[in-house]
Amino acid sequence: MSKYARDLLQEFESQNDIEDDFQLHVLKVNIDESGDVEQSGNAQPVTKIEIDLEGKECLLHFAESTSEYVTVSDAKSVFVNAVLDFEVCAAQEKEMDEAFIRLDTPLIGFGENIELKAFFAVCQA
């Protein structure tokens, strides 16, 4: 069910409506036992893409409120041949007991909103 950099690039190419200036967002969802999907909060903008060579992951860092954002064009330039087989994960930093931890969650799907010029990377909440 996990998605890889190759899957993300294929999604960009297969959808004629996705333009290079679309902003990337992470959308968290809950999936119940019957397989029904429900959105968990608002989509959050991706602020940077980090390549973890050791873990073979492409990390989409996102934040609740920010003026920084990553576009589809930015992602295309980062996802070169060397990382096509890397798993793509949403990476969120949280403060717990006065320490920061990072929660990495594999992507499970994609979507877009043409009116908002946004592309969504979907992960479980």
Query: CA 40, CA 104: separation in Å to the nearest integer?
Result: 16
Give the side-chain half-sphere CA count within 13 A for 39.
Answer: 9
Show the domain range for 26. Answer: 5-124
- Any alpha helices (H) in the chain, and if so which ranges? 5-14, 72-78
Question: What's the whole-model pTM score?
Answer: 0.87
pLDDT tens per residue across span 70-96: 999 999 999 988 899 999 999 988 777
Total domain count, the chain: 1
pLDDT tens per residue across span 19-71: 999 999 999 998 888 878 887 888 999 999 999 999 999 999 998 777 789 99
